[in-house]
């Protein structure tokens, strides 16, 4: 929901910045003529973000609205070092180069997304969340102790507003803008009595496609209702239910480099893009398959993207959060159910890819915790069960097409965990935590391959794997001064292995792991008007799960499948500062340097595919590997030495905000913000056309708030430079060097209005 609000900064960064709205159960504390304290719950307890030894960014609900954040990929514009893009309905989240190229329902995220403490397991289920938000927490680095599964790269926590007993209150916000933008958001809080309070919220967001073929549009509606039952001071029960409908054409792609430098937003089904794809496919068919030109040209037209892209998802969920104050500890029991059903059709590279999936998850977390001046601790147990089914097809005719039907793709996970912080002295604390995880995955299904004009070759597959992992965290915190804390931590994260389907086979892959070392300092100076935080990090990334589209190494046609790719390191520094120059002026700056490198990155590709598609990596000589009783000729691809994908060497953001007060009590707020990033690798073929260029993006917001602070009208311009910002890349399967990528919005502008009571 895009809403103009006064007095709220674009970003609360931090290692943090100021002025974030806290959780409903932890109020902000206003420092006299200074920066506010920001309370977060990322470590399962309420704490000042400046007293938390985490690499964490917190965005207030106002900042989320002001930035126009309605889809999770919009977070890429707000947090340096974070890259988020879409492939069809699948969300791809990377933090400092750690992430997942999710291209089908088999993929698990490496960055956990949680809404009100409930994990959203599927990369296709994490949009239509950002309305009536209290705050969003972005945690960088492994969260294996408290978050567990699929949090090797970090976690994104969305905390929504809960009912209160204060009074009947509400808000309504509207927006209109270019590209046919029409959106609305509302919330209503109603205390029924001293024991029960209700809160309902909704959003509707729609805009036309940013790409010339109508893709990269938005058409979603969502609603949420919460009920708080608090019969006494020792017990509370919060119930919630939500539903969303996500439609439209869905995510699209644009050729890279751009076909027209003056208009990079040419979609994949645009005739100009199709002309390039058809020509390139025809050349491949003539040269590689030795087809006559007339026949090759006729068949190449089948590779054209004729449109028809769509997305149709209906996620919903119910959850509860029961809390008992036992005097010596607080017991929290948090059950949740999530359903995610939907279909999409997208054109990845050259050929259409269709998916229908159904997903059911049940989770339960129970934990005990307590905080005192000397000891803070939490222990608990976690259970997660997922049943998933899907059907998919990759149409790569006239060469081959692959169809899969997987009625069973199950995940069973349980864990026990504990973490504590203990004060050895008034200034020195030690941190320790551990989590044991047991995860079992099962797959049953089948499919068939059509090779040219040959009869379909049906197949059936079945497999199961169990992985266990013990993750840990240790560290120290030392108060150099009342508002200066030095910390050193080491922690690990774990992402379970899984399965890929390729033609007639299941290809299992191993878990990936991340070990992170972080040294940081968080400070407030100048009577609480200057905040200065620095974090130095070193990450060791082992067995990264890398997804590919191509012929299976086991034979049998084209498919997405995943392999493990050795080792990578990420090392760098994050610097952030906030300065409240006057009561009316706030300046922010955040810069991140990330020197990443694949120390070991090799995998096998079957002969022909390795040579037919361009790669910037070294191609080893042909040799054979045994697959059952069959010897399969392969090349070893060696990408060691390259920078990690989607990890900019430099990234950062800056903003300045000024409030113009009137004697009536009304005010005008103006803020100007910009972000920048150096070039990144958009994919792991490492060809020149996958090296996505650097960029800057500048936004401006202007809003007027009434004297009674009960209505606001505003205007905005985003991406003033009209920068083409690509977030990933995808090489066409049969056309060497032909690359398409996800691209963020061009220049947008609009007006907003909000009224509250």
pLDDT tens digits for 103-133?
Answer: 778 888 899 999 999 999 888 878 888 999 9
How are beta strands 154-160 and 111-115 bridged, if at all? parallel
- 400: tokens are 């081959």
Average pLDDT over residues 498-527: 88
What b/e readout covers 637-662, taking b as 16+ CB neighbours within 10 angstroms?
bbbbebbbbbbbbebbbbbbbebeee
pLDDT score at 450:
74
pLDDT tens digits for 549-608?
Answer: 544 544 444 456 788 878 999 999 999 999 999 999 999 999 999 999 999 998 877 776
Residue 502: pLDDT over 90: no
Query: Is 5 contained in some domain?
Result: no
Task: Say how far apart CA 622 and CA 32 lie, in whole Å.
Answer: 71
Helix (H) or strand (E) holding 279: helix 271-288
Query: Is 140 contained in some domain?
Result: yes
Residue 12: pLDDT over 60: no
Q: How far is CA 731 from CA 19, 349, 598, 629, in A?
A: 43, 6, 20, 32
Q: What is the DSSP letter of 689?
A: G
Residue 713: pLDDT over 60: yes
Q: Residue 330, Cβ neighbours under 10 Å: how many?
A: 17
Contact call for residues 614 and 737 (beta carbons, < 8 A):
yes
Tell me whether the omega of the peptide bond preceding residue 175 falls within 30 degrees of 0, making it cis: no
Task: Say how far apart CA 588 and CA 10 lie, in whole Å.
Answer: 10
pLDDT score at 419:
96
Q: What is the DSSP letter of 15?
A: T
Tell me whether the omega of the peptide bond preceding residue 611 falls within 30 degrees of 0, making it cis: no
Q: Where are the beta strands (DSSP E) in 601-688?
A: 602-606, 618-619, 623-627, 630-638, 650-661, 667-677, 680-681
Place of tokens 């059936």: 460
HEC string of 70-113 equals CCHHHHHHCCCCEEEEEECCEEEEEECCEECCCCCCCCCCCEEE
CATH of the domain at 732: 2.40.170.20
Total domains present in the chain = 1
Query: Is 368 contained in some domain?
Result: yes
How are beta strands 558-564 and 602-606 bridged, if at all? unpaired
pLDDT score at 29:
34
15 burial via Cβ count (<10 Å: 0-12, 13-18, 19+): buried
Contact call for residues 704 and 711 (beta carbons, < 8 A):
no
Average pLDDT over residues 693-712: 97
Residue 173 lies in domain = 39-269+305-601+639-756
Q: Angle at Cα 171 formed by Cα 170 and Cα 176, nearest 5°? A: 165
Contact call for residues 89 and 355 (beta carbons, < 8 A):
yes
Q: Residue 582, Cβ neighbours under 10 Å: how many?
A: 11
Contact call for residues 248 and 310 (beta carbons, < 8 A):
yes
pLDDT score at 322:
98
Average pLDDT over residues 53-65: 90
Contact call for residues 662 and 42 (beta carbons, < 8 A):
no
Contact call for residues 664 and 637 (beta carbons, < 8 A):
no
Average pLDDT over residues 745-749: 97
Region class of 733: left (phi > 0), else alpha (psi between -120 and 50), else beta: alpha
Query: Is 288 contained in some domain?
Result: no
Q: Angle at Cα 256 formed by Cα 253 and Cα 260, nearest 5°? A: 95
Query: Is 100 contained in some domain?
Result: yes
Q: Model pTM?
A: 0.90
Place of tokens 């994990």: 119
Query: Is 562 contained in some domain?
Result: yes
Task: Say how far apart CA 81 and CA 73 lie, in whole Å.
Answer: 13
> For residue 482, what are the contacts with CB-CB under 8 A and spacing of at least 6?
none
What DSSP letter does each residue of 609-631 carry, written as one string? Answer: HHHHS--SSEEPPPEEEEETTEE
pLDDT tens digits for 279-316?
Answer: 777 777 777 667 778 777 766 776 677 778 999 999 99
CA diameter of the chain = 85
Residue 3: pLDDT over 50: no
Region class of 584: left (phi > 0), else alpha (psi between -120 and 50), else beta: alpha
> For residue 508, what are the contacts with CB-CB under 8 A and spacing of at least 6?
463, 465, 497, 498, 499, 500
> For residue 471, what are the contacts with CB-CB under 8 A and spacing of at least 6?
142, 144, 145, 148, 434, 435, 437, 491, 492, 493, 494
Task: Say how far apart CA 490 and CA 15 lie, in whole Å.
Answer: 17
Residue 487: pLDDT over 50: yes
Give the lowest-confidence range in 46-50, 287-291, 305-309, 345-349: 287-291
Query: Taking Cα atoms as reference points, which of 570, 705, 586 lies closest to residue 647?
Result: 570
Phi, psi at residue 100, to the nearest 5°?
Answer: -135, 130
pLDDT tens digits for 244-257?
Answer: 999 999 999 999 99
Q: Angle at Cα 55 formed by Cα 63 and Cα 565, nearest 5°? A: 110
pLDDT score at 734:
67
Name the pLDDT band for 20 (thresholds 50, 70, 90).
Answer: very low
Task: Say how far apart CA 291 and CA 307 lie, in whole Å.
Answer: 27
Contact call for residues 267 and 210 (beta carbons, < 8 A):
no
Residue 54: pLDDT over 70: yes
Q: How far is CA 565 from CA 267, 366, 424, 543, in A?
A: 32, 36, 42, 5
pLDDT score at 576:
96
- 306: tokens are 């004729």
Name the pLDDT band for 11 (thresholds 50, 70, 90).
Answer: very low
Query: Is 128 contained in some domain?
Result: yes
Note the Cα 148 to chain centre separation in Å.
17
Name the pLDDT band for 534 (thresholds 50, 70, 90).
Answer: very high
pLDDT score at 359:
94
How are beta strands 181-191 and 196-207 bridged, if at all? antiparallel
pLDDT score at 529:
96
């Amino acid at each position: 929901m895009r809403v103009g609000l006064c007095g709220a900064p674009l970003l609360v960064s931090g290692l943090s910045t100021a002025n974030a709205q806290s959780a409903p159960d932890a109020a902000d504390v206003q420092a006299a003529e200074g920066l506010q304290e920001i309370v977060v719950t990322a470590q399962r307890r309420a704490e000042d973000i400046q007293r938390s030894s985490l690499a964490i960014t917190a965005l207030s609900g106002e900042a989320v609205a002001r930035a126009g954040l309605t889809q999770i990929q919009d977070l890429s514009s707000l947090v340096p070092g974070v890259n988020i893009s879409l492939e069809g309905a699948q969300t791809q989240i990377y933090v400092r180069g750690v992430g997942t190229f999710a291209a089908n329902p088999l993929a698990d995220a490496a960055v956990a997304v949680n809404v009100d403490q409930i994990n959203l397991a599927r990369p296709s289920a994490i949009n239509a969340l950002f309305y009536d938000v209290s705050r969003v927490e972005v945690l960088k680095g492994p969260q294996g102790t408290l978050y567990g599964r699929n949090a090797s790269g970090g976690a994104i926590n969305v905390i929504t507003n809960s009912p209160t007993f204060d009074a009947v209150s509400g808000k309504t916000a509207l927006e209109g803008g270019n590209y046919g933008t029409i959106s609305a958001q509302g919330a209503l809080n109603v205390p029924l009595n001293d024991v029960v309070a209700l809160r309902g919220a909704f959003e509707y967001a729609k805009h036309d496609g940013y790409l010339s073929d109508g893709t990269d549009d938005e058409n979603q509606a969502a609603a949420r209702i919460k009920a708080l039952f608090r019969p006494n001071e020792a017990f509370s029960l919060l119930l919630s239910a939500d539903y969303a409908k996500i439609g439209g054409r869905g995510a699209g792609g644009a050729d890279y480099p751009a076909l027209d430098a003056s208009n990079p937003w040419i979609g994949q089904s645009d005739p100009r893009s199709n002309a390039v794809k058809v020509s390139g496919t025809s050349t491949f068919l003539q040269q590689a398959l030795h087809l006559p030109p007339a026949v090759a040209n006729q068949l190449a037209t089948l590779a054209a993207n004729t449109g028809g892209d769509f997305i149709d998802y209906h996620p919903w969920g119910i959850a509860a959060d029961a809390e008992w104050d036992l005097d010596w500890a607080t017991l929290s029991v948090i059950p949740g159910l999530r359903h995610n059903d939907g279909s999409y059709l997208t054109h990845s590279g050259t050929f259409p890819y269709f998916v229908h999936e159904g997903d059911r998850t049940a989770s339960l977390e129970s934990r005990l915790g307590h905080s005192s001046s000397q000891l803070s601790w939490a222990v608990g147990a976690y259970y997660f069960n997922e049943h998933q089914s899907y059907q998919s097809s990759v149409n790569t005719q006239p060469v081959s097409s692959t169809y899969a039907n997987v009625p069973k793709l199950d995940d069973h996970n349980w864990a026990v965990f504990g973490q504590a912080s203990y004060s050895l002295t008034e200034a020195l604390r030690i941190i320790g935590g551990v989590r044991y995880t047991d995860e079992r995955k099962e797959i049953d299904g089948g499919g068939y391959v059509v090779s040219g004009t040959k009869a379909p070759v049906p197949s059936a597959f079945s497999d199961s794997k169990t992985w266990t992992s013990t993750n840990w965290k240790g560290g120290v915190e030392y108060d150099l001064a009342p508002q200066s804390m030095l910390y050193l931590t080491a922690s690990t994260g774990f992402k379970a292995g899984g399965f890929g389907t390729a033609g007639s086979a299941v290809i299992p892959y191993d878990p990936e792991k991340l070990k992170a070392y972080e040294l940081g300092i968080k400070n407030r100076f100048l009577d609480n008007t200057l905040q200065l935080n620095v974090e130095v990090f070193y990450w060791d990334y082992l067995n990264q799960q890398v997804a590919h589209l191509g012929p299976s190494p086991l034979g049998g046609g084209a498919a997405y499948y995943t392999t493990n790719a050795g080792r990578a390191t990420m090392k760098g520094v994050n610097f952030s500062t906030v300065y409240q120059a006057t009561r009316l002026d706030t300046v922010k700056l955040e810069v991140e340097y990330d020197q990443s490198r694949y120390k070991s990155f090799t995998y096998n590709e079957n002969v022909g595919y390795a040579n037919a598609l361009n790669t910037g990596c070294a191609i080893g000589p042909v040799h054979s590997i045994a697959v059952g009783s069959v010897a399969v000729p392969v090349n070893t691809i060696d990408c060691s030495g390259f920078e990690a994908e989607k990890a900019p060497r430099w990234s950062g953001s800056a903003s300045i905000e000024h409030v113009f007060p009137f004697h009536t009590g009304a005010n005008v707020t103006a803020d100007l913000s910009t972000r920048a990033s150096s070039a990144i690798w958009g994919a792991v073929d490492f060809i020149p056309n996958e090296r996505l260029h650097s960029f800057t993006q500048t936004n401006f917001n202007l809003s007027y708030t009434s004297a009674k602070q009960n209505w606001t009208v505003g205007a905005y311009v985003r991406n003033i430079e009209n920068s083409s910002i690509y977030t990933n890349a995808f090489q066409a399967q049969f056309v060497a060097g032909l690359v398409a990528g996800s691209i963020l919005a061009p220049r947008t502008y609009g007006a907003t209005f909000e009224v509250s009571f």
